[in-house]
């Protein structure tokens, strides 16, 4: 069942993220946009969370390991009501709690990252705690594909399978690009699905912009005793034509003219269709 | 010390249902009593220290007080960023336990010499750092940690350390073991405290009777904790750690004004030298005769 409104929510996330990055003259908008559809589906009904009680003990845990792409997560949280929308304007400003790598000091954020390779081990610990205590909440963690170069992730992949963490879902935002170029040309991960299966994970390959596929991958019952990895093929900068698949938008911040163009493309009539 | 630690951890785990032990595939014939009694609160994370430390942070975020356990530099240097970012920044109750402080694994070579750990971990102000000198102090430190779950580091010896004094409840500041007579004192941390105590007879023959203090709690520490040392003209620091960043640095930053500091620490020349702990102490100038000589020449 596809929830209504996820496409509009994804569009709103993108609009807010682009505005935040432009206003703050910040970086990493490309990776924020590539995962926006997954965030929309997660925060539009998959995640069991309560914006009025961000620390509700029975909530699902969502951890952003690619913490540099936090603008879209802050946007999703504000849109869901975890904190006031106006605060998004403080993104990256002096003294703001909305720092440009994800911060646990923001309501709804479980864990601060920024150095890569930290989210999945932490998520394993939380999932293990739920197992040991018999809780039914789930743990989700979003990684980037470039980030899979970190050895700590492969340690955690071993661990997740060893401890049968079927309450854990790792999403890998495979936009194919990292800091200095294409992942395939730097430390190729392929064949990534086969590697992850060999590590003992239930691997689902999806189009990371197809909300139906995202929903199915996140909600189909777990294979008992097997953690799930959702390999989402995405486009870096998705939704803004001049950013799509352009490495420069790992770093650049749109000026007023480019921001206006981006926002025009993200108007409701230009709504993304999967 | 490691056996005392596990015995005490078992006692504390009966009182504190949140205590959880994660080992990095080390602790054979040591940790089994805990694993047998608390199988739901025990885990061997394998030879993967970064993941072990991240997992510990995740468990701690769910309310456990996690002790990670390994030897030498493995639970600290290999996963230092996980300690800094995941544990300390989030102020999660994880105690990193390293067995084999200083040169306790002297014959195993450079990889196993934990002689820079205090200096490195002192740079993380959220971390409490405990460095017991004998089994009694190890017990008191473990009790303190159980009562104060926080980002922390417990630096313990190996096995067979002599019991050097009766330890009560752990508290901040130097613990006075020998009151001495005169205007100098030795402040030691870790099992090399034994060299200070063993040096006393030779010094007494020369008419030098220093006070002796043990300092098991290295962090947090503030200048006020060191006011008992204001009465001395000279304080000798003694540590099984390189000079940079260790006990001597800590004292230099916090000693009362006017107190002179003379440092006895591992020289850089001991790096990479292999041998038994006692032989390396002698070579590094940290055995009892060397301590006596240093003090005699300085007083």
Alpha carbon distance B64, A133 (integer Å):
11
User: What span, in angstroms and rounded, lies between the C-alpha atoms of A61 and A124?
Assistant: 11
Which residue range(s) make up the domain with A171? 6-270
- Are B79 and B109 spatial neighbours (Cβ–Cβ below 8 Å)? no
pLDDT score of A224: 98
- B12 and B147 both lie in a single domain: yes
| CATH code of the domain containing A222 | 3.40.50.970
The answer to whether residue A268 scores a pLDDT higher than 90 is no
Which chain B residues touch A122 with a CB distance below 8 Å?
A: 54-55, 57-58, 61, 86
Question: What is the pairing mode between strands B234-242 and B184-189?
Answer: parallel
CATH number at residue B249: 3.40.50.920
How far is residue A23 CA from its own chain's centroid? 22
* B53/B152 same-domain check: yes
Q: Are residues B22 and B139 in the same domain?
A: yes
Residue B193: helix, strand or coil by DSSP? helix
Helical (H) or strand (E) element with B272 = none
Q: Where are the beta strands (DSSP E) in B59-147?
A: 65-71, 94-99, 128-130
CB within 8 Å of B39: residues ≥ 6 apart: none
Contact A38, A171 (CB under 8 A): yes
Which of B42, B54, B74 to mutate: most A Cβ within 10 Å? B54
In a domain, B165, yes or no: no
* Structure tokens that stand for B183 in this block: 């205007």
Cα A249 to Cα A237: distance, rounded to the nearest angstrom? 7
ipTM over 0.90: yes
Q: Find the domain containing B30 and state its range.
A: 2-156
- In a domain, residue A1? The reply is no
Is the residue at A118 inside a domain?
A: yes
The structure tokens 């630096």 sit at B155
Residue A273 has pLDDT above 50, yes or no: no
Whether residue A125 and residue B63 make contact (CB cut-off 8 A), yes or no, is: no
C-alpha A217/C-alpha A46 separation (Å) is 11
Contact assignment for A111 to B61 by CB distance below 8 Å: yes
Q: Tell me how far apart the 2 most distant CA atoms of chain A are, in Å.
A: 53
Find where tokens 């468990």 sit. Answer: B59
> CA-to-CA distance for A73 and A140, rounded, in angstroms?
13
Q: Min CA distance, B85 vs chain A (Å)?
A: 8
Going residue by residue through chain B, which has 299 residues, state the pLDDT in tens, using 9 for 90 and above: 999 999 999 999 999 999 999 999 999 999 999 999 999 999 999 999 999 999 999 999 999 999 999 999 999 999 999 999 999 999 999 999 999 999 999 999 999 999 999 999 999 999 999 999 999 999 999 999 999 999 999 999 999 999 999 999 999 999 999 999 999 999 999 999 999 999 999 999 999 999 999 999 999 999 999 999 999 999 999 999 999 999 999 999 999 999 999 999 999 999 999 999 999 999 999 999 999 999 999 98
Query: Is residue B168 a part of any domain in this protein?
Result: no
For residue B68, the domain's CATH number is 3.40.50.970
Tell me how far apart the alpha carbons of residues B215 and B198 are, in angstroms, rounded to a whole number: 17
Quick check: is B84 in a domain?
A: yes
B113: in domain? yes
Task: Please indicate if any CB of chain A lies within 8 Å of the CB of B94.
Answer: no
Report residue A2's pLDDT band, with 50, 70 and 90 as the boundaries. very low
Q: Which two tokens stand for residue B226?
A: 């060191």
Kindly determine whether residue A122 and residue B57, on different chains, have CB atoms separated by under 8 Å. Answer: yes
Q: ∠ CA(B91), CA(B97), CA(B101), 5° rounding? A: 130
The SS3 call for residue B254 is helix
In a domain, B169, yes or no: no
A140 touches chain B (CB under 8 A): no
Chain-chain contact of B59 with A125 (C-beta, under 8 angstroms) = yes
List of residues 6+ apart from A120 with CB closer than 8 A: A65, A141, A143, A152, A153, A156, A157, A160, A170, B54
Q: Into how many domains does chain A fold?
A: 1
pLDDT digits (tens, 9 = 90+) for A28-64: 999 999 999 999 999 998 999 999 999 999 999 999 9
Q: Across the interface, do B50 and A152 touch by the CB < 8 Å criterion?
A: yes
Last residue of a domain, one of B156, B187, B202: B156
How crowded is the C-beta side of B15, counted as CA atoms within 13 Å? Answer: 9
């Amino acid at each position: 069942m596809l929830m209504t409104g996820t496409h509009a929510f994804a569009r709103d996330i993108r609009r807010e993220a682009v505005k935040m990055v432009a206003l703050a003259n910040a970086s990493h908008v490309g990776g924020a946009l590539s995962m926006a559809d997954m965030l929309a589906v997660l925060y539009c009904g998959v995640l069991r969370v309560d914006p009025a009680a961000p620390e509700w003990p029975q909530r699902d845990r969502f951890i952003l390991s690619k913490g540099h792409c936090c603008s879209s997560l802050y946007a999703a949280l504000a849109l869901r009501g975890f904190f006031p929308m106006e605060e998004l304007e403080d993104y990256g400003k002096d003294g703001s709690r909305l720092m440009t790598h994800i911060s646990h000091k923001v309501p709804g954020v479980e864990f601060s990252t920024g150095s890569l390779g930290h989210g999945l081990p932490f998520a394993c610990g939380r999932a293990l705690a739920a197992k040991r205590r018999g809780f039914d909440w789930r743990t989700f963690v979003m990684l980037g594909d470039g980030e899979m170069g970190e050895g700590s992730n492969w340690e955690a992949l071993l661990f997740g399978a060893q401890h049968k963490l079927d309450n854990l879902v790792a999403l890998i935002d495979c936009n194919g690009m990292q800091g200095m170029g294409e992942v395939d040309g730097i430390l190729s991960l392929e064949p990534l699905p086969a590697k992850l299966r060999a590590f003992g994970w239930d691997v689902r390959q999806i189009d990371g912009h197809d909300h139906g596929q995202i929903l199915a991958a996140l909600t189909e019952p777990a294979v008992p005793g097997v953690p799930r990895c959702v390999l989402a093929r995405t486009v870096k900068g998705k939704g803004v034509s001049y950013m799509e698949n352009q490495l420069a938008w790992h770093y650049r911040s749109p000026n007023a003219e480019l921001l206006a163009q981006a926002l025009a493309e993200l108007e409701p009539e230009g709504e993304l269709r999967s | 010390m490691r056996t005392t630690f596990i015995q005490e951890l078992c006692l504390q785990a009966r009182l504190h249902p949140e205590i959880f032990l994660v080992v990095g595939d080390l602790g054979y014939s040591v940790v089994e009593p805990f694993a047998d009694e608390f199988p739901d609160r025990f885990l061997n994370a394998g030879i993967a220290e970064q993941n072990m430390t991240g997992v510990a942070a995740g468990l701690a975020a769910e309310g456990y007080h996690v002790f990670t356990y390994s030897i030498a530099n493995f639970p600290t240097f290999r996963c230092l960023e996980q300690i800094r970012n995941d544990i300390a920044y989030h102020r999660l109750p994880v105690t990193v336990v390293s067995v084999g402080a200083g040169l306790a694994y002297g014959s195993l070579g450079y990889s196993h010499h934990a002689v820079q750990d205090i200096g490195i971990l002192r740079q993380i102000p959220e971390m409490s750092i405990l460095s017991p000198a004998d089994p009694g102090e190890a017990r008191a430190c473990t009790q303190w940690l159980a009562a104060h779950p926080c980002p922390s580091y417990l630096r313990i010896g190996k096995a067979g350390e002599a019991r050097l004094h009766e330890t009560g409840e752990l508290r901040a500041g130097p613990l006075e073991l020998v009151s001495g007579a005169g205007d100098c004192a030795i402040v030691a941390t870790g099992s090399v405290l034994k060299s200070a105590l063993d040096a006393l007879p030779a010094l007494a023959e020369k008419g030098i009777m220093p006070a002796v203090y043990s300092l098991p709690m290295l962090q947090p520490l503030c200048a006020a904790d060191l006011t008992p040392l204001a009465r001395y003209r000279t304080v000798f620091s003694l540590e099984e750690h390189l000079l940079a960043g260790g006990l001597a640095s800590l004292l230099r930053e916090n000693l009362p004004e006017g107190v002179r500091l003379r440092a006895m620490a591992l020289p850089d020349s001991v790096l990479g030298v292999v041998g038994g702990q006692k032989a390396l102490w002698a070579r590094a100038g940290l055995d009892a005769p060397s301590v006596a000589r240093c003090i005699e020449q300085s007083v």
